Chain A
Amino acid sequence: MRHPRRTIFAFALILLSFVFAFAIRGARSTQTDAVSDEACLDCHESQVHAMVGTAHDPAAGRFVSCLGCHAGAATDRHLDDPDENPAVNPAHMRADSVTAVCATCHEHPHTLNLYERDPHADADLSCTACHRVHDNTHLGLLKDEQKTLCFSCHPSAQGDFAMPSHHPVMEGVVVCSDCHLSVAQSSKQRVYTGPGGTCTTCHAMFEGPYPYEHQAAVDYSTEEGGCLNCHAAHGSAQPRLLKQSYQSPDFALCSQCHVVPKHQNNVNHGSSWAGMPCNDCHVDVHGSYDNAKLLDPSLAAQGCTAVGCHQF
């Protein structure tokens, strides 16, 4: 029996409200006003202008105080004996603890991704692995330009983007977060599943739905895989980011899934079809508006559907 989607969504909202209602009673505060910013800056003079120009600047006088990030159990005693009672430093905290601190203000999906099954969180990397709040003028408070920052831990990607066919990350046209922020868990909300939804952020013409689908190209198909079945997203030695060779006689890219005996060397065709690319006939490889075999609609005019021949 099909469940109306609105019922599921309504259930989710009820669940959210339920949790919210209990939370108001049970949650603890994460901030304290026991110590003023001036008291902190009396000793930490070098930090007076450390966040100028950013929303974290206490001088902005809105939301953020030193204790917004650096509060801990020993905060009250820190002023009396700083060495014995060090203040909390997010740079030395566990990843999930840092996420908890940042998430007290930053409730958007990117922050919450770190709570879920996220490779960075699994490697104990939190917001501070990529962002630096103090003394930073980079956009988004990133520690460095995106590709430099990401390549420092992911050097293999640098080789991928040097491949003959690649997304133009090195050229600065695309940045890592164009794909990798949306492919994180937050994307599950906006699309049905994984990477394919990221691809269609820019390549929307392949998004579907197509009346006749190529199941391998559909992310929510039980054949699984989507775009990554055929394309290597970073870079490839093959044109058009194709993972495998698309050359005669085997056309490996298609042969990884399709084995059609006597398909190209059929006696009725003579040798004229031998070695022809699959998409010479099956033009709509991403999906068709015309027929289930993804064939070129003009084939009928060429006599392919004549009596005794193919009935597509």
Chain B
Amino acid sequence: MTVNIDVGTVLRGTVCDLYSNLVTRPTGAAVRTAIEQQVIDMGASVVTTIDFSQVNLLDFSCADEIVAKLLLRYASDDGLPGFLTFRGIHEGHIDPIETVLERHALALVSWHEGAAELFGYVDDDERSHWEAVRDHGPIWAESLAPILAVSEAVAAHQLDRLRSRRLIMRRDDGFAVPGTVARGS
């Protein structure tokens, strides 16, 4: 199950109904807290998508409070369940988001016009494996290995790294990028 949370709506509902810019740290903290509460209230969603399309301006403070700290909550042992993806990230959001991702050594999956993109702190092996999963998934390590000309053990190791970072998810039919529509659905 995928749940969409519109950050613009959360901003106007929790901070001020006149705001369309995600600026200042208190604003970011209030929006993040409201999103976390929504995720908890909605229960067992598998993929939560945070939608930035209604957000005009995003500064570093809000990128840190919302994007980085939400990802950190998902990554922690007692953190939020499921997977977190983003959509509606436009050109003006990229610099603050990538800056905070690198600062915390984090990465995220973003959906843009029906295609998944990977932002943030990843090494070349992680990126190549992630892109192969995106392009060929759902897929298992034995099918992925020949595509990337690596051993099955290497492919399995990289898939495990990506899964532990919640950048891919393990499904019954193989590894896939979170938010990918299951075949036949």
Q: Do A and B bind each other?
A: no
User: What residues make up the interface of B, taking CB atoms closer than 8 Å to A?
Assistant: none
User: What residues make up the interface of A, taking CB atoms closer than 8 Å to B?
Assistant: none
